[in-house]
């Protein structure tokens, strides 16, 4: 009798499973799924190379008409790389799936995790803090922080292959913490040593939980040492950020500086995002202290990993493609001229650099996947995506879509210079997502990347090889090994004093006086690119470089250029 009942139950479950998986108009199923359980065992098998597994699924989706289906028990997920379908879902499904909630427990409910009408209201309220007029006021701060990063990099220039990650992450953190929290330089330690490190670790824990199904249920997760550590970190973050909010509140109240117009600024330079939020909380009573803390944490967390990964990739790419680097250098030199800082007008002149950044974001995509919850059945020409399922949108797949042409996988910044060489369908490019929930910080990120890359390229010649790197998935794609770069000081026309060129038997004997920048004093060695008023052959090589201090802030370099001509 029992055997009969058991057989009937198993039979019903299997039929249910078969029916739901092969629901009429269901997309193709990714191979290897087990009845009822689905695909989790494959994730466990590939846990050491999760990115390899995710790439396989994305490729399978491209090869099978742009959609593929997977499941874990009752949860169905579609991986979509068809540009039309991705566009449709990004615009119509605005809710995030359950695993985004893991972030709420730790950093609060900010724009990334909010759903429904609250997201709509907060998103509308916060967008003014990222409009172009406000971003322009952040530019001087980005220049200052870029110069600090360059000065730090100078200490390792000429010392062979080095790891520059710390300089990059500090640049990103300091700029974003100062522009969003309004922290002054004296508070630098709070940023460098406490807040950011705690947020970074929280993010790592949340990411681990998201990728490991067995710690999804709170009843299990709450008993883990990971959760205990997470709670400690949450406390650290709260204890740091609450006093900052309270202090700023008390500073602003007496002067009634709340009204958010871009002319009133903290320390006479810019107005941080925190001020806008305090204004909204004071005048309109719409944001609580908890909301403010959640939004600030979200901005720092959302920008830190992403923008530093892209900046790192961009510098690696420049080091791997010397011709591209040379062209960026020429453009940057023309735009900077003799100035120390880039202005808002300079931003639009850095056309080639913008192409390079866009191509880095396409080929070395920072956020390769994002997810949405499907709230009502979506009927597509071939398939129906069922309500209650999760949709993984493959940005990685879009960026390799056949409409990019046969060279889709190649790094070619030139394609951005001529609109005719770009795909006609705009949906195949989405490094910052698209639709209504796209990245609020995308202009901020572009401005920060342009400024920092321009400052670095102006000062250094970079050598690296990005093609040796392998990648791991942690929401943001990161290299599995430490990427190393060679930095060599270069000198453009800035700082260049008198130049005398004396022809000799083998070529040209060049004597150059270089006025050395403050931060380079005592370290002016390495290779210098000299842009002479006369055009030398490309194959010119410089040798016999000698240097000696002429006075406090200039050096004399003498060198012989073999031109092959006389």
Q: Which residues are annotated as a binding site for heme?
A: 439
Q: Which of 93, 153, 370, 391 binds ligand HEM (CB under 6 A)?
A: 370
Using DSSP's 3-state secondary structure scheme, residue 77 falls into strand
Q: Which of 445, 447, 454, 508 binds ligand HEM (CB under 6 A)?
A: 445
Q: Are the CB atoms for 491 and 530 separated by under 8 Å?
A: yes
Using DSSP's 3-state secondary structure scheme, residue 334 falls into helix
399 lies in the site for ligand HEM, by CB under 6 A: no
Burial 381-406, CB ≥16 within 10 A → b, else e: eebebbeebbbbbbbbbbbbbeebee
Provide the Cα torsion 279, 281, 287, 292; round to 10°.
60
The region of 15-23, 338-346, 439-447, 528-536 touching ligand HEM under the rule CB under 6 A is 439-447
The region of 43-51, 250-258, 338-346, 364-372 touching ligand HEM under the rule CB under 6 A is 364-372
> Please, which residue, 271 or 517, has the CB nearer to ligand HEM?
271
Can you name the residues that pair with 502 across neighbouring β-strands?
509
Any residues with CB less than 8 A from the CB of 103 and at least 6 apart, and which? 110, 112, 113, 206
169 lies in the site for ligand HEM, by CB under 6 A: no
137 lies in the site for ligand HEM, by CB under 6 A: no
- The minimum distance between CB 83 and ligand HEM, in angstroms, equals 15
The region of 191-199, 243-251, 431-439, 518-526 touching ligand HEM under the rule CB under 6 A is 431-439
203 lies in the site for ligand HEM, by CB under 6 A: no
The region of 15-23, 189-197, 294-302, 479-487 touching ligand HEM under the rule CB under 6 A is 294-302
432 lies in the site for ligand HEM, by CB under 6 A: yes
> Please, which residue, 370 or 530, has the CB nearer to ligand HEM?
370
- Please, what sign has the CA dihedral across residues 418, 423, 424, 430? negative
Q: Which of 26, 106, 170, 307 binds ligand HEM (CB under 6 A)?
A: 307
> Please, which residue, 366 or 510, has the CB nearer to ligand HEM?
366
- The minimum distance between CB 111 and ligand HEM, in angstroms, equals 4
Using DSSP's 3-state secondary structure scheme, residue 505 falls into coil
439 lies in the site for ligand HEM, by CB under 6 A: yes
Q: Are the CB atoms for 310 and 450 separated by under 8 Å?
A: no
Nearest to 68 by CA among 287, 295, 317, 389: 389
123 lies in the site for ligand HEM, by CB under 6 A: yes
| Cα angle value 343/187/339 (rounded, 5°) | 20
Q: How many residues bind ligand HEM (CB under 6 A)?
A: 23
310 lies in the site for ligand HEM, by CB under 6 A: yes
Q: Are the CB atoms for 460 and 528 separated by under 8 Å?
A: no
Any residues with CB less than 8 A from the CB of 442 and at least 6 apart, and which? 432
The region of 51-59, 243-251, 436-444, 490-498 touching ligand HEM under the rule CB under 6 A is 436-444
Q: Rounded to a whole number, what is the distance in angstroms from the first to the last CA of the chain?
A: 104
Residues that bind ligand HEM (CB under 6 A): 111-112, 123, 176, 298-299, 302-303, 306-307, 310, 366-367, 370, 431-433, 437, 439-441, 444-445
């Amino acid at each position: 009798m029992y055997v009969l009942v058991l057989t009937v139950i198993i039979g019903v479950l299997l039929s249910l499973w078969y029916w739901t998986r092969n629901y009429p108009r269901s997309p193709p199923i990714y191979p290897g799924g087990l009845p009822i359980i689905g695909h989790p065992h494959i994730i466990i098998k590939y846990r050491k190379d999760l990115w390899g597994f995710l790439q396989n699924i994305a490729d399978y989706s491209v090869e099978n008409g742009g959609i593929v289906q997977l499941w874990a028990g009752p949860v169905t997920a579609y991986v979509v790389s068809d540009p039309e379908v991705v566009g449709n879902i990004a615009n119509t499904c605005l809710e995030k799936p359950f695993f985004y909630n893991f972030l709420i427990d730790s950093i609060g409910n900010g724009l990334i995790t909010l759903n429904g009408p609250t997201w709509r209201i907060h998103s509308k309220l916060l967008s003014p803090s990222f409009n172009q007029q406000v971003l322009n006021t952040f530019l001087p701060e980005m220049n200052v922080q870029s110069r600090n990063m360059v000065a730090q990099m100078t200490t390792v220039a000429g010392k062979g292959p080095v790891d520059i990650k710390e300089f990059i992450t500090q640049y990103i953190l300091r700029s974003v913490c100062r522009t969003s929290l309004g922290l002054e330089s004296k508070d630098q330690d709070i940023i460098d040593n406490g807040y950011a490190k705690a947020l970074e670790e929280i993010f790592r824990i949340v990411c681990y939980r998201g990728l490991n199904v067995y710690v999804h249920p709170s009843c299990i997760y709450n008993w883990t040492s990971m959760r205990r550590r997470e709670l400690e970190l949450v406390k650290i973050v709260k204890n740091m950020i609450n006093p900052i909010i309270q202090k700023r509140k008390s500073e602003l109240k007496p002067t009634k500086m709340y009204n958010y117009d871009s002319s009133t600024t903290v320390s006479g330079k810019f107005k941080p995002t925190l001020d806008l939020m305090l204004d909204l909380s004071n005048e309109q009573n719409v944001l609580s202290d908890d909301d403010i803390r959640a939004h600030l944490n979200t901005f720092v967390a959302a920008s830190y990993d992403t923008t530093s990964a892209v900046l790192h990739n961009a510098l690696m790419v420049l080091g791997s493609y010397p011709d591209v680097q040379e062209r960026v250098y020429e453009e940057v030199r023309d735009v900077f001229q003799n100035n120390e800082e880039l202005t808002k007008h300079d931003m639009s002149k850095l056309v080639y650099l913008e192409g390079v950044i866009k191509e880095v974001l396409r080929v070395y995509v920072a956020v390769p996947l994002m997810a949405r919850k499907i709230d009502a059945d979506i009927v597509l020409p071939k398939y129906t995506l069922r309500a209650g399922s999760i949709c993984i949108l493959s940005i990685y797949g879009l960026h390799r879509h056949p409409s990019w042409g046969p060279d889709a996988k190649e790094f070619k910044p030139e394609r951005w210079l001529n609109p005719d060489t770009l795909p006609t369908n705009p949906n195949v490019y989405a490094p910052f997502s698209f639709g209504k929930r796209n990245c609020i910080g995308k202009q901020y990120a572009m401005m920060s990347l342009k400024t920092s890359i321009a400052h670095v390229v102006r000062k250094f010649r970079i050598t690296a090889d990005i093609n040796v790197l392998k990648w791991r998935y942690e929401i943001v794609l990161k290299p599995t090994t430490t990427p190393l770069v060679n930095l060599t000081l270069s000198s453009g026309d800035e700082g260049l004093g008198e130049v005398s060129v004396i022809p000799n038997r083998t070529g040209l004997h060049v004597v150059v006086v270089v006025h050395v920048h403050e931060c380079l004093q005592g370290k002016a060695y390495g290779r210098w690119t000299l842009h002479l008023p006369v055009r030398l052959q490309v194959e010119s090589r410089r040798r016999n470089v000698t240097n000696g201090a002429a006075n406090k802030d200039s050096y004399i370099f003498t060198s012989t250029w073999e031109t092959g001509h006389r």
